[in-house]
Structure 1
Amino acid sequence: MDLLQSVIQYVLDLGAAVFVPLLMVIVGIAAKMKWKDALGAGIILGVAFVGMNIVIGFMLDALTPAAQGLVERTGIQLTIIDGGWTSLATLAWAWPLAFLMFPLQLLINGILLIFNKTQTLNVDLWNVWGKILTAVLVIGVTGNIYIAFFVAAIQIVFELLLADVNQKQIEKITGIPGVTVSHGMMLFGIFLLPFNWLLGKIPIFDRHVDADTLKEKLGIFAENHVMGFIIGLLLGIVAGYSVPDMLMLAVQAAAALTLFPMVAKLFMQALSPLSDAISEYMKKKFQNRQLFIGLDWPILAGSSEAWVAMILMVPITLIYAIILPGNNILPFAGIINISFAVPALIITGGNLLRMLLLGIISTPVFLYTATGFAPTITQLAKDTGAVTLKDGQLLSWSTLEYPDFRYIFAQAGEITEGNFLGIILVAVWIALFIVYYKMMSKRTEKIESQSGFEKEISS
């Protein structure tokens, strides 16, 4: 058991930028790619991950001080420290049973592929820490290890099903065939579903407004660099920056929005040949079978709509943190809410207006869930010693991924204590999942029919 733990930990310690490309090289060679082509694609994929992390880190370094400036002007005092995803990933890996989640995910994915219940091969294995964190949070509520692993297993299945049904929408956004996103954050799309449906019934919100639409209407003011400059300038103003600092923030925001699509093209450069090779291999070996490669969310990072929505939500999130009764977390490390923006991008089809409205609707859920789970996360930090806290300090993550799923299924785990509300909420969540699956399946059929028509015209 100790040997297994050591091997798994060594592999995962390589990090996503090394581990995922290495795995893709192995898959490419197995699919009969030339080794030099597979190696070249794998290295470019690693470069894409590193480049995206650099740009995201650059943007966070620029925006976090602005957020702090806005908070300091209000004089608000909130007691829970926002450790962001890095702190919680550290805590998750420090859990003594964390290493068991890796083979569990491989086993479930393998069984579902063998029995043709999924089309997704999830190579985003580094993010298995998300399932570990879910298990830890469930244990914090229920005290039951078996229920914790059961909920984590359910999450793995739902992630694969969503990766399947979202694939065509993801391919449409990224332009990369044969890939999908198997990250757990896609689960939040289930919560967003009814609100997106309601917005679609209101005429003014039924219009599709994306980056291209804005460019048609606003011209140069909708270009990424100009939008970034304007948004950064406005954030500098509300943060009380001096004119030089305000202009620097504006240029930094402009740089980030300009660089994101550039770096995202590296994903296409790396993944397209791998996808083509895997597709050809599957056609030869298995008739009528497709295989999608499940990856982390950064393959969607070239979407301007996602970043505009995230940056515009920064001041709104801070205002919520200040005014919401019962909220005790001050968003800093999690101030860029990727956890909402990525599923909102998929469910709205890149409709920027709806994405912003969904952000306004859903942000309180993140803050209240982060506040509610703070005692559990703090206790984990104390038990493992992985994160040092002072006496009386609480730790959480202001934009905790898929907060609804984690809260609902953790509550359902208390069924032995007579908590039937959790079971009712799980039933509602699963019903919404079914509706979501059917909706995205119809959208897939529509995209495929349009694609077939376009091919017919071009030929």
Structure 2
Amino acid sequence: MEALSNIVNFFLGLGAAIFVPIIIIIAGLIVKMKLKDAISAGITLGVAFTGMSMLISFMTDAISPAAQAMLENANIALPIVDGGWTTMSTISWSWPYAFLMFPLLIAINVIMLVFKKTNTFNADLWNVWGKIFTAVAVVAITKSVLLAFVVAAIQIVLELKCADYHQHRIEKLSGIPGVTCTHKMVFLGALMYPVDLLLRKIPVLRKEFNAGNLKDKLGIFAENHVLGFILGIVFGLLAKYSLSDTLTLAIKCATALTLFPVITKYFMQALAPISEAVSDYMNAKFSDRTLVVGLDWPFLGGANEIWLAVIWSVPVTLVFSLFLPGNEILPFAGIINLALAVPAFLVTGGNIIRMLILCTIFAPVFLWVGTAFAPFITDLANSTGAVALAAGQMISNSNIDGPVFTYAFSHVFKVFQGNFLPLIILILWLAGFMLYRRDLLNEAKLDSVAVEENV
């Protein structure tokens, strides 16, 4: 057991930029890619992951101090420290049974592929910590390790099914064939979708309005570099920065927004040969199936709409943290909230106006869930020594992926203590999930029919 744990932890410790390309190279060789092509694709994918990670860190380092300055200017003090996703990952891996989640994920994926219950091969094994995080939450509520793995298994299945349902829309939005997203952040779309249905009933919000339309209406002011510069100026003013610091922040924001689409091209360059090889291999083996590759969200990072929504969400989240009843977390490390922007992008199909509305409506959810999870996250951090905390200090995350799903599925067992709120939220999530699933499948079917008619 200990040897297996050490092996798993070693490979996962390499990070997504190394671990995921290794999985992709192995998968490429299995589907008969040439060795040089598989290695080239894997290294290019590693470059893309590293580039995207560098840009996000660069953007976070630029904006987070400004966000903190805004809170200090408002004289706000909240008791729960925001550790961000990296701290949550560290704490999750400190759970004694964490290493068992890795073989569970692989086994479920293989079984579902063999029995044709999914068409997604999940190459995003590095993000197995997300399943561990949910399991840790279940253990904190129920004290049952068995229930923790049952809920984690349900999450794994739902991630694969969500990846199947989203694949067509993701291909339309990203332009990358044969890939989909297996990250649990897409789960929030289940509750965003019913709200988006209501927004679509407003005529002006029903019209297509993506980043391209924004450029048509605003001209140079909607160009990535100019828009980033303007947003940086706004942040600098809100943070009461000096002129030089404000201009520096503006240039950094302009740099980040300019380079995100550039990095995404490397995802396309890496994934195109892999997805083609996988499709050819599966078509030869199963004439009625096309296998797709499931990945983390960064290959969607070329969508300007995502970054506009992310930047919009920073002041929105900060404002909510000031007066939101029940919130005790000070948003900082998780202030760049992609778990809010990405599902909004997928639900709306990139309609930037509806995205901003959805991000505004659902920003409080992350603060509430972050507050609710703080006690058990703090207890685990203290008991394992994974994170050094001062006496009495609490820690959590202000951008927990798939917050509604994670809260509902882990806290639903509180119904036995007379708390029915998590059960009600779980039912609402499942209802939204089924509605959203129907919409995604109908879109894929209608587009398929349209293509056949035009042939």
What corresponds to 2:197 in structure 1?
Answer: 197
Q: Is the 8 A contact 2:267 2:299 kept in 1?
A: yes
What corresponds to 1:36 in structure 2?
Answer: 36
Counterparts of residues 1-16 of structure 1 (less than 5 Å)? 1-16=1-16
CA shift for structure 1 position 400: 1.0
Output one character per residue of 1:91-146: Cα deviation in whole Å (capped at 9) or x when no partner. Answer: 00111000010011111111111110110010100100000000111111222222
Structure 2 Cα separation of the partners of residues 139 and 416 of structure 1: 15
Structure 2 Cα separation of the partners of residues 144 and 419 of structure 1: 18
Structure 2 Cα separation of the partners of residues 56 and 422 of structure 1: 33
Q: Secondary structure at the match of 2:315?
A: helix
Q: What letter matches 2:363 in structure 1?
A: T
Q: What letter matches 1:155 in structure 2?
A: Q
What corresponds to 1:169 in structure 2?
Answer: 169
Two-structure CA RMSD over aligned residues (Å): 1.3
Q: Is the 8 A contact 1:64 1:335 kept in 2?
A: yes
Structure 1 Cα separation of the partners of residues 416 and 324 of structure 2: 32
CA shift for structure 1 position 325: 2.1
CA shift for structure 1 position 449: 4.0
CA shift for structure 1 position 248: 1.0
CA shift for structure 1 position 423: 3.5
Counterparts of residues 231-246 of structure 1 (less than 5 Å)? 231-246=231-246
Structure 2 Cα separation of the partners of residues 117 and 46 of structure 1: 30
Q: Secondary structure at the match of 1:290?
A: coil
Structure 2 Cα separation of the partners of residues 218 and 417 of structure 1: 55
Structure 1 Cα separation of the partners of residues 327 and 34 of structure 2: 55
Structure 1 Cα separation of the partners of residues 97 and 107 of structure 2: 17
Q: Secondary structure at the match of 2:329?
A: coil
What corresponds to 1:73 in structure 2?
Answer: 73
Structure 1 Cα separation of the partners of residues 236 and 275 of structure 2: 43
What corresponds to 2:211 in structure 1?
Answer: 211
Output one character per residue of 1:355-384: Cα deviation in whole Å (capped at 9) or x when no partner. Answer: 100011001111011111111110010111
CA shift for structure 1 position 422: 3.5
Structure 1 Cα separation of the partners of residues 37 and 369 of structure 2: 45
Q: TM-score, normalised by structure 2?
A: 0.98
Mapped pair 1:346 → 2:377: no
Q: Secondary structure at the match of 1:332?
A: coil
Unaligned runs of 5+ in 2: none
Structure 1 Cα separation of the partners of residues 450 and 243 of structure 2: 50
Q: Is the 8 A contact 2:83 2:397 kept in 1?
A: yes
More displaced stretch, 97-106 vs 401-410: 401-410
Q: What letter matches 1:91 in structure 2?
A: I
CA shift for structure 1 position 421: 4.4
Q: Is the 8 A contact 1:138 1:406 kept in 2?
A: no
Counterparts of residues 395-414 of structure 1 (less than 5 Å)? 395-414=395-414
Output one character per residue of 1:313-370: Cα deviation in whole Å (capped at 9) or x when no partner. Answer: 1111101001112211111100011111111110100111111000110011110111
Counterparts of residues 345-364 of structure 1 (less than 5 Å)? 345-364=345-364
CA shift for structure 1 position 203: 1.9
Q: What letter matches 2:411 in structure 1?
A: Q
Structure 2 Cα separation of the partners of residues 451 and 218 of structure 1: 34
Tell me the percent identity: 52
What corresponds to 2:378 in structure 1?
Answer: 378
Structure 2 Cα separation of the partners of residues 262 and 337 of structure 1: 21
What corresponds to 1:330 in structure 2?
Answer: 330
Q: What letter matches 2:76 in structure 1?
A: I
Q: Is the 8 A contact 1:162 1:182 kept in 2?
A: yes
CA shift for structure 1 position 399: 1.0
Q: Secondary structure at the match of 1:333?
A: coil
Q: Secondary structure at the match of 1:326?
A: coil
Q: 1:328 to 1:269 in 2, by over 3 A?
A: same
Q: TM-score, normalised by structure 1?
A: 0.97
Output one character per residue of 1:251-298: Cα deviation in whole Å (capped at 9) or x when no partner. Answer: 110100000000000000000011111111111111111101000000
Structure 2 Cα separation of the partners of residues 210 and 35 of structure 1: 40
CA shift for structure 1 position 418: 4.6
Q: Is the 8 A contact 1:411 1:419 kept in 2?
A: no
Counterparts of residues 131-150 of structure 1 (less than 5 Å)? 131-150=131-150
CA shift for structure 1 position 87: 0.4
Q: What letter matches 2:3 in structure 1?
A: L
Q: What letter matches 1:153 in structure 2?
A: A
CA shift for structure 1 position 453: 5.9
More displaced stretch, 412-421 vs 126-135: 412-421
Q: 1:229 to 1:451 in 2, by over 3 A?
A: farther
Output one character per residue of 1:379-422: Cα deviation in whole Å (capped at 9) or x when no partner. Answer: 01011100000011110001111111111112222344354543
Q: Is the 8 A contact 1:80 1:395 kept in 2?
A: yes
Output one character per residue of 1:154-177: Cα deviation in whole Å (capped at 9) or x when no partner. Answer: 111110001001001111121111
Q: Is the 8 A contact 1:168 1:447 kept in 2?
A: no
Structure 1 Cα separation of the partners of residues 231 and 155 of structure 2: 36
Q: Is the 8 A contact 2:193 2:432 kept in 1?
A: yes
Unaligned runs of 5+ in 1: none
Structure 2 Cα separation of the partners of residues 421 and 234 of structure 1: 39
Q: What letter matches 1:103 in structure 2?
A: P
Q: Secondary structure at the match of 1:40?
A: helix
Structure 1 Cα separation of the partners of residues 123 and 191 of structure 2: 26
Aligned length: 455
Q: What letter matches 1:375 in structure 2?
A: P
Q: What letter matches 2:119 in structure 1?
A: Q
More displaced stretch, 186-195 vs 297-306: 186-195
Q: What letter matches 1:75 in structure 2?
A: N
Q: 1:422 to 1:76 in 2, by over 3 A?
A: closer
What corresponds to 1:228 in structure 2?
Answer: 228
CA shift for structure 1 position 426: 2.5
